[in-house]
Amino acid sequence: MRLDQFVSQATGLSRSQAQRLIKAGAITLHDQVLKNPSQHIEPHLPIQYEHTLLTLPQPLYLMLNKPQGVVSATSDAHQPTVLDLIQHPHKHSLHVVGRLDKDTTGLLLLTSDGDWSHRIAAPRKQIGKTYLVTLADALTHSALKQLEQGIHLEGEKRPTSPAQVALVSDLQLRLTIYEGMYHQVKRMIAAVGSKVVALHREQIGELSLDKDLALGEWRELSYEERALF
Ligand code: URA
């Protein structure tokens, strides 16, 4: 891995702070100063910061109940990000697994384990994502059938996989989809003649959002939850 990535993950500093440390000559290997942040290193080497051995922490796995108004990114020049909501010494090692739009709420996963996030996001895995969808206008019976059968959204190579649809009320439905196309739910609902007014992700695969987490709150996943993927 890159030296700056290693230093960032081992210390909990951001990537740019780690780069500054490296350029300042504070990182050594066998008493030789390592000054190139992009140098590739083996994480098991005895790399030191001011004579303290650096080691990578255990991977992190978090669920966040994402509120509206924050972007699903770990850094952004202009807008608050989901990472701003997380207080953890190693939060800079996290990445987002399956983004939500800025105005979407609910279950968002963050991890530092790339293999784990790949298992969730890989298209061939077809992991279901369940959303509570609030609509501007009620859908007809045939619109619901179209959602269930799959819809060819403009600009996409393939139609959406058959979705699972359960009406909660005239203006609310629970929708499970199996891809992560850009604005997929909003585009599917628009294609069948309505509009999404609120969108909340409740579940990814077998993993449900913890009902005890208020909007903006997060917690680490249990071993059993991690092992679902
Ligand atoms: N589909 C959308 O349209 N938006 C989201 O945030 C998630 C799925």
Q: How far is the CA of 14 from the centre of ligand 1 (A)?
A: 29
Structural domains in the chain (count): 3
Whether residues 39 and 103 share a domain: the answer is no
Tokens matching residue 142: 């045939």
Rounded to the nearest angstrom, the distance between the alpha carbon of 190 and the centre of ligand 1 is: 12
Q: How far is residue 32's CA from residue 73's CA, in Å, rounded to a whole number? A: 36
The angle subtended at Cα 62 by Cα 225 and Cα 176, nearest 5°, is 65
User: pLDDT value at position 123?
Assistant: 82
Asked whether 135 and 196 are in contact (CB, 8 A), the reply is yes
Query: Which residue among the candidates 4, 31, 76, 101 is catalytic per the annotation?
Result: 101
Instruction: Please confirm, yes or no, whether 210 is among the known catalytic residues.
Output: no
Domain with residue 13: its CATH number is: 3.10.290.10
- Specify whether 86 is located in the same domain as 108: yes
Which amino acids bring their CB within 6 angstroms of ligand 1? 100-101, 104, 183-186, 199
Specify the CATH number for the domain of residue 114.
3.30.70.580
| Whether residue 79 is found in the same domain as residue 32 | no
Atom of ligand 1 nearest to the CA of 188: 3
Do 118 and 179 have their domain in common?
no
Same domain, 99 and 198: no
Cβ neighbours for 122, distance < 8 A, ≥ 6 positions apart: none
The token pair at 189 is: 């609902």
Domain that holds residue 83: 61-122+208-226
pLDDT of residue 89: 87
Mean pLDDT by 10 residues, the chain (229 residues): 93 92 96 96 94 91 98 94 94 93 98 95 91 97 97 95 97 97 97 97 98 98 97
Residues 38 and 23 both lie in one domain: yes
Query: In which residue are the tokens 């083996």 written?
Result: 42
For residues 212 and 102, state if they share a domain: yes
CA–centroid distance, 40 to ligand 1, in Å, is 37
Residue 196 Cα: closest atom of ligand 1: 3
Instruction: Return the structure tokens found at 195.
Output: 């509009």
pLDDT at 208: 98
135 & 196 share domain: yes
**191 and 150 inside one domain:** yes
199 with 139, same domain: the answer is yes
Half-sphere exposure of 161 (CA within 13 A, CB side): 15
Q: Indicate whether 74 and 86 sit together in one domain.
A: yes
